[in-house]
Amino acid sequence: TPAHFLEAYTRYTATIAGSLEDLRGNPMGTDYTWSFTTGPADTSPPLVARVYPPQGATGVSIYASVLVTFSEAMDPATINPSTIRLLRGGTTPVAGSVSYDPARFRATFTPQSLLEENTLYQAKVSKDVTDRAGNPLGFDYSWTFRTGTAPTMHCYHGDLHNHTSYSDGALTPAQALAVGRANGLDFMAITDHSYAIDDAEWEDTLNAVNAATVPGDFVAIRGAEWTQGSEGHINVYNTVRHPTRSDMGYAYGDYVPGLEDGATVIGFYTWMVHTGTQSVDGTGTFAQFNHPGWMNFNDWAYHPEALDLLPLAEMGNGYGASYVWSEEQSIRALDYGWRVAPSDNADMHSPEWGAYPIRTGIWATELTKAGVMEALRARRTFATEDVNYELAMKANGYWMGSEIPNAGTIQFEVTGHDPDGEGDALVELVSDMGRVVLSTTAGADFSWNPVLDIAPGVHDVYVRVTQADGDRIASAPIWTQGDVDVSITDFTIQPSIPTTRTTSLLTARVSNRGGGNLQGITVTFAAEGVPFAHVWVDVPQDGDAFAYASWRPEQVGPVRVTAALSGVPAGDNPDDNAAGMLLTVTGQEVPLIMIDAGHRNKNVGAPMARFLADLSAHHYNVLYNLDEITAEELAPVRLLILTDPGDDPDNPYNLTETQAIADYVAAGGALWLAGEADYKNQGNSDELNSILAAIEAATGEEIPVRFNDDEVIDGDDNNGYPWGVTWHTFPTDTVFSTGVGVNVTATASWSECSLTDRSHDALTPEDGALLVATGDLDPGMCQTRYGPRPCRTYNEDASGDCAEDHDLAYIYPLTGTVPVPLAALYELSGGGRIALWGDSNDTFSTYGYTAGDHKQNELLNLEVVMWLLGDPLQKWPIAQVRTDGDGDDVPDYRGRLVWVEGTVTAAFGEFFDVLYVQDESGGITVYAPAGDIEGEFGRGARVRVVATVDVYQGDTELQFAEAEQIRILGQGPVPEPRVLSTGEAAREESEGWLLQTEGLVTAWYDSQSFIIDDGSGPCRIFLDGYNNDPGNPTFENIRVGNWVRAVGLGSEDYGGQRIRVRTESDIVVLEHFWHVYLPLVFR
């Protein structure tokens, strides 16, 4: 853009330098030059082309802004509050701000507060506004309009995410809508997967929602769920057409090129802008981000063109064990600049539409299609886990979901109504970066009117209600307006665990959502308030920049590191100009795991968040590789993980990288390779196999496994899709020789390939590799939504053209006893270990990391990592698990996955989600945070437990996330309690054992415990309140002076050591001692 206007009637020559490069670094090569001649100078004055509200309009919304569209580009310097004005009654100025959109030639006057009801207003444009050439308007332009009354809003509850048999759900749309309505939904959307909906089903869904809609009683909406395998799922609503991830040949389905590459969702946003705005009626369209956290839409990359087309993001999604509340992701989206309001939907795939208590709440003028669509597009929503809760919030009179002027103070009107009267709740105002700025405690029905002073700039504020039973309700935010919006939107550390032995990399992401391109922003990194790095960044408009700083801590223990901005323009909100992390620095050597993210690898980044968190929780340090893999980078690495590098036609790993990987493994390094199905040639088996070949060349020995170029299918053991195979065969020879697969009964996968032997034939145990997971041999044919498929696990060439780009697929026979293998292990003679997996998707992604889903991806992955690092899972005696060498009441193996076997001494349920297990060496608490576990884990059950060592209130325990992590091996007698003195029973080394002791009751400690002493020292006897036995009320009859025998489990809480009795019958009063005082007689 020229700094000054071009001269009239003048010839100019323009040149594009040949050094200009494309995204892959290829230069144009030669200059491109052309010439043109300008015309006459602009001497015509601008005109007012359109205004809103129109001249003479009545019933105008009190939320309205004044819009003036000119006939040509205007000089922004002349568009200001002195030239664009609004007068109440034609005389009283209205306070407000003025902005100019050069792309639309449009000026906007935004009132500082709501307009008054039923009031005449006059808008004026000054004669002094000029176009870019300096030509003035020449005359004052004015017009009038009259406001109406504020509409009355009503609360309705519905569900915006439901599937039927038209994709991967049940029944028909008409049947689903009938069930949802019967279960109390006021509105409901049918959102089958777009790639599965053919034209007839698309039309039938529209007919079904139209037939089901009864104004004033029930509203149905047609939608579709676009599913991009790596970056996210998005629902579109009320559109004429629907986007598909593949070219399905549908007349009403649009294949959007670029969605298959696993790199971006830009293609969807483009479709939404150009096609997704076409509605089936006059009520408009919109889209919703689905279940964020599983996949994060290219890490919430900001696209302002789609801002108003995606007004919603699910804060809650799922039902039963699959339900997830993702408030942290909503906060992340808000911080990144998206204007999203929350919804809470079941994502129902079974015939239970509306049966679960989660709801999306809206405030609408009426229960009609138009009323519901207007409320959703205006973001007047709330997410609720309470089926009938009503939450409303206004800010300076504006409804939640609005963008309001920043007046420096916000007067809130927050109301809540629970028809069930469930009692007190915590009510909080949550602002930028998830900070709670105000809070109160309120009853089931409340009105709260807090006042919040805010700094200039852009803010978001929403209401969160937490009920006594744990149910959560969250409102849509309000946003304040501002011309500048600069913030730190992410602050991370790699590797994930800071140590005094290595240098960590801190990264601050700086986002700019307003104010033009910014230069010279300073990011200051500090530890405990002491700066150690200053980094300067330039941040483009609507873009991001990254500041990096190296940090090597010098002392162990807790330390707070921060990143703070300076040099930001005036008017920016300072509240989000800093971010911090509280870290715990260790002096120990922590195994370093590197995950490649530099070659478009599958599922790295946000989809792996839970996998990474689980590794860090088990004391493994995780580092992402973001560029070329080098020998220097691999030097400190203990384990390298490479997921499938995708379908890039270029060689993802160059020869230098491949050699570095091969040398690393030859030197004893561990490597986990994961492939993918060849569906549409996504899998890159030839690249992974070339790495294996390079390792063979570097070591001089053969690796008996290769990746197949195929797709694995199973007709009955799957997640609803035949290519989403559930694996449940884990060869016991491998399990008990490697510790990989112990207590694993099923794992999830998605779009996976199989393994073959080195000769590209069937892989069997005789080839020398250790098979970890193989398919089943179920007989017959099974009916799937994609037609009949063999019930057994089988494979096929999914791409249809694999010979063009990849190795030929080996097809396992559909008859016989050779199963299709998914995963294998192999150890080289030089110590290098390799895990080969046919799945890069659910193996690592959040889909496979759902607690309580009866699939043990989490457990199997940890077992694989332990084997790869040469520290395999092995059965330990309980005493070894409890080791506390330094006596600090924290087990030395805290955070380690362990395997113990023993006998149950306190049944599951006797202490809620806890049971006790004992072997010959000791006893321990076993805690199941996932909830109920399967089977009769009664006293005397012989069990195998694979769980993580942790500590709770000083009590060492084992914790697990999946019910299958504890398995029954048999049944035997309950061990006899160890008979100890009271002093011995109260020692740390008695924790976990089933104990018996007796002594004199010397005092009551509290209402649930008393002290006994046999002369060797005091011991506290504790009975949980829920273990009272009304038929044998021993506990409440115990008195000081009684001699009592107690049987229970040695344990600890914040009060110290105790014996935790299982039931009142474990307490026996042996003798009653009475103190008798006789008079002394002196003679």
Which residue type does 750 have?
Answer: W
Q: If we measure between CA atoms, which residue out of 403, 383, 516 comes closest to residue 459?
A: 403
Say yes or no: 804 and 925 in one domain: no
Assign residue 916 the CATH number of its domain: 2.40.50.140
Is 711 part of a structural domain of the chain?
yes
Which residue type does 955 have?
Answer: D
Q: What are the φ/ψ torsions at residue 539 (nearest 5 degrees)?
A: -125, 115
- CA dihedral (907, 982, 991, 558) in degrees, to 10, reads 130
Distances (CA, A) of 3 to 6, 39, 132, 537: 9, 18, 12, 25
> So what's the pLDDT on residue 1006?
87
Residues 187/219, Cβ–Cβ less than 8 Å: yes
> So what's the pLDDT on residue 1081?
47
Give the three-class secondary structure for 437: strand
Say yes or no: 533 and 552 in one domain: yes
Give the three-class secondary structure for 80: coil
Residues 1007/1035, Cβ–Cβ less than 8 Å: no
Say yes or no: 683 and 784 in one domain: yes
Q: Who contacts 398 (Cβ-Cβ below 8 Å, separation ≥6)?
A: 63, 114, 404, 478
Is 847 part of a structural domain of the chain?
no
Number of alpha carbons in the 13 Å side-chain half-sphere of residue 417:
10
Which residue type does 596 have?
Answer: D
Is 291 part of a structural domain of the chain?
yes
Domain end, chosen from 971, 1001, 1026, is at: 971
Give 804-837 pLDDT, tens digit per residue: 444 579 999 999 899 999 999 999 999 999 999 9
Say yes or no: 463 and 564 in one domain: no
Q: If we measure between CA atoms, which residue out of 1049, 1043, 1012 comes closest to residue 1027?
A: 1049
Residue 857 gets which letter from DSSP?
A: H
Residues 100/74, Cβ–Cβ less than 8 Å: yes
Domain end, chosen from 823, 854, 869, is at: 823
Cα distance between residue 912 and residue 974, in whole Å: 20
Provide the residue range defining the domain that includes 22: 1-41
Strands 1018-1022 and 1056-1060, by their bridges, are parallel
Is 556 part of a structural domain of the chain?
yes
Say yes or no: 335 and 423 in one domain: no
Say yes or no: 982 and 1019 in one domain: yes
Q: What are the φ/ψ torsions at residue 593 (nearest 5 degrees)?
A: -110, 125
Say yes or no: 403 and 470 in one domain: yes
Is 843 part of a structural domain of the chain?
no
**Tokens 């300073």 label which residue?**
522
Assign residue 74 the CATH number of its domain: 2.60.40.1220
Say yes or no: 112 and 258 in one domain: no
Q: Which two tokens stand for residue 1078?
A: 């006789």
> So what's the pLDDT on residue 967?
93
As a whole number of Å, the end-to-end CA separation of the chain is 122
Cα distance between residue 16 and residue 49, in whole Å: 37
CA 273 to chain centre: 26
User: What's the domain count of the chain?
Assistant: 8
Cα distance between residue 891 and residue 667, in whole Å: 34
Residue 54 gets which letter from DSSP?
A: P
Give the three-class secondary structure for 610: helix
Strands 821-827 and 770-774, by their bridges, are antiparallel
> So what's the pLDDT on residue 259?
40
Domain end, chosen from 146, 173, 190, is at: 146
Q: CA 775, 780, 785, 786 torsion: positive or negative?
A: positive
Residues of the chain short of pLDDT 50, as ranges, are: 259-263, 801-806, 1074-1083
Q: If we measure between CA atoms, which residue out of 1017, 1026, 1009, 1016 comes closest to residue 1067?
A: 1009
Number of alpha carbons in the 13 Å side-chain half-sphere of residue 313:
27
Is 690 part of a structural domain of the chain?
yes
Assign residue 454 the CATH number of its domain: 2.60.40.1930
Beta-strand runs (E) in 162-218: 187-193
Cα distance between residue 643 and residue 246, in whole Å: 23
> So what's the pLDDT on residue 281?
96
Say yes or no: 137 and 280 in one domain: no
Could you count the other beta carbons within 10 Å of the beta carbon of residue 457?
27
Say yes or no: 330 and 469 in one domain: no
Assign residue 359 the CATH number of its domain: 3.20.20.140
Say yes or no: 245 and 328 in one domain: yes
Q: Which two tokens stand for residue 738?
A: 């490697």
Give 437-466 pLDDT, tens digit per residue: 999 999 999 999 999 999 999 999 999 999
Is 118 part of a structural domain of the chain?
yes
Q: Which two tokens stand for residue 909?
A: 């349920």
Cα distance between residue 621 and residue 498, in whole Å: 8
Is 515 part of a structural domain of the chain?
yes
The pTM assigned to this predicted structure is: 0.73
Say yes or no: 993 and 961 in one domain: no
> So what's the pLDDT on residue 929?
64
Residues 842/749, Cβ–Cβ less than 8 Å: yes
Residues 708/701, Cβ–Cβ less than 8 Å: no
> So what's the pLDDT on residue 1008?
84
> So what's the pLDDT on residue 261?
42
Cα distance between residue 76 and residue 732, in whole Å: 75
Q: Which two tokens stand for residue 70?
A: 């000119």
Peptide bond into 722 cis (omega under 30): no
